[in-house]
Amino acid sequence: MAAACAVVVVAVVASRVDLGYFVISPGDAQSVVPLITVPPREAHPVRGAVLLTDVFEAQVTALGYLFDRLSPDDQLIPADEVLSPGIPSSELTAQGYLEMAQAKQAAETAALRRLGYAVPEHADGVVVEGVASGAPAFGVLQVGQVITGVDGVPTPEVCRFVATLSGLRPGTTARLTVRLDGFSGSGRPVRGAVVDRLVRLARRPPGVPGPTGCAGVHRGGGYLGVVVASQQDFVYPFPISIDTADIGGPSAGLAMALGLLDMLGGGRLTGGRRVAATGTIDPAGQVGDVGGVPQKTVAVERAGASVFLVPADEVAAARAKATPSLHVYGVRSLGQALAILGRLGGRVPSAAGP
């Protein structure tokens, strides 16, 4: 009895010991079109499917380390490749939801502009992407919130925000104008009220790099302890919704853009095939690298895909896991992805206009 209790205690302790690694495992692959809602007059019936795919990501514990290490489809990666320096793991979920929200905007914009729609945009402040542990902003600001001003000075984009903040000395109390945007429990964006938040700035800790890439920045200015990015607001010609409940990260951008193009552009983009895609996308349609490509390859194989579009630099990683029934193509842009689908028999929507 005592031995059994000891084993249980050891197992409980091992399940809570963080080894400084994350494990990535194959997730799900699903058709993106059923997740998209547009006005009925804009939608077309779709033949075939565009699949988005994800991975499962979790911290590795002492209890699960050996299993994760031996699993042929899992990958262990150091925690510092997942977490930004000083950013706690507790922010990972919100960061993933923020990345997904940004990916949706980019996918919608790239697809609509490809079809010839005008999609105006304007700077809308700086969005909080991370808050360092113990920093002045910790417990005051949260991931997803948008800072639109400092001491009454508008900060529509990152360089204006950084320059304004850097002009304040350590020890100064800054008044931040903050829109309390956030996410529901399933990751849906929630628009918040605009409030003021007071934060007492500190000196930059040793070893923490100062801001770069912006003119007029004083490196000795007050330290807030946030990672921010410029927030763009886009004006779409009609309402679009993509329901990705409980899915985070930016890697579904390419799949969402292709799915939206398929629905809006005639419904024959895949030539009746099940086509999977992964890759980040920006509003100009440029495709970027993602993580977990081997695990995503396993997931799309299980879902019956015959074509897998991946970022150009990650073709080898996908082909290493693909069977002969899955044809992998590398792309660097939305236009290149459409050209491949056209060569495979898909009907590519015209770029001349809606």
The region of weakest confidence among 67-81, 99-113, 183-197, 236-250 is: 67-81
Helix (H, G, I), strand (E, B) or coil at 338: helix
Res. 102: pLDDT tops 80: yes
Give residue 7's pLDDT: 35
pLDDT tier for residue 17 given thresholds of 50, 70 and 90: very low
The reported pLDDT for the residue numbered 78 is 80
Instruction: Specify the CATH number of the domain 27-74+88-118+237-343.
Output: 3.30.230
pLDDT in tens, 258-278: 999 999 999 999 999 999 999
Using DSSP, state whether 37 is helix, strand or coil.
Answer: strand
**pLDDT of the residue at 294:** 95
Give me the percent of the chain exceeding a pLDDT of 90.
71
Reply yes or no on whether the pLDDT at 231 is more than 90.
Answer: yes
* Selection from 227, 261, 251, 253 nearest residue 314 by Cα: 251
Torsion of CA 168, 169, 174, 179, to 10 degrees: 60
Q: State the pTM of this model.
A: 0.88
What number of residues does the chain have? 354
- What pLDDT score was predicted for residue 353? 44
Element (H, E) at 109: helix 92-114
Confidence of residue 350 (pLDDT cuts 50, 70, 90): confident
Task: Say what the pLDDT of residue 12 is.
Answer: 37
- Average pLDDT over the chain reads 88
pLDDT in tens, 20-64: 788 888 999 999 999 999 999 999 999 999 999 999 888 787 656
pLDDT confidence tier of residue 69, bands split at 50, 70 and 90: low
Highest mean pLDDT among 162-176, 211-225, 329-343: 329-343
Regarding the domain delimited by 121-234, which CATH topology (the fold level of the hierarchy) does it fall under?
A: Pdz3 Domain (2.30.42)
Q: Are 119 and 234 in contact (CB under 8 A)?
A: yes
Check residue 245 and give its pLDDT. Answer: 87
Residue spans of the domains in the chain: they are: 27-74+88-118+237-343, 121-234
Distances in Å between the Cα of 104 and the Cα atoms of 35, 125, 216, 256 are 12, 18, 33, 7
pLDDT tens-digit readout, 166-177: 899 999 999 999
Instruction: Tell me the per-residue pLDDT of 307-334, one tens digit each, with 9 for 90 and over.
Output: 999 999 999 999 999 999 999 999 999 9
pLDDT reading at 150 higher than 50? yes
- Same fold? 27-74+88-118+237-343, 121-234: no
From CA 327, how far away is CA 318, in angstroms rounded?
Answer: 10
Above 70 in pLDDT, residue 189?
A: yes
Check pLDDT > 50 for residue 14: no
Long-range Cβ pairs for the range 314-319 (8 Å, 24+): 314/289, 314/290, 317/293, 318/293, 318/294
What is the average per-residue pLDDT within 300-312? Answer: 97
The pLDDT value recorded for residue 208 is 80
Angle at 344 between CA 341 and CA 345, to 5 degrees: 95
Q: With contact defined as beta carbons under 8 Å apart, do 210 and 204 qualify?
A: yes
The conformational region for residue 147 under phi > 0 = left, psi -120 to 50 = alpha, else beta, is: beta
What is the model's pLDDT at position 20?
76
Does the pLDDT at position 216 exceed 70?
Answer: no
Match 């699903």 to its residue by tokens: 30
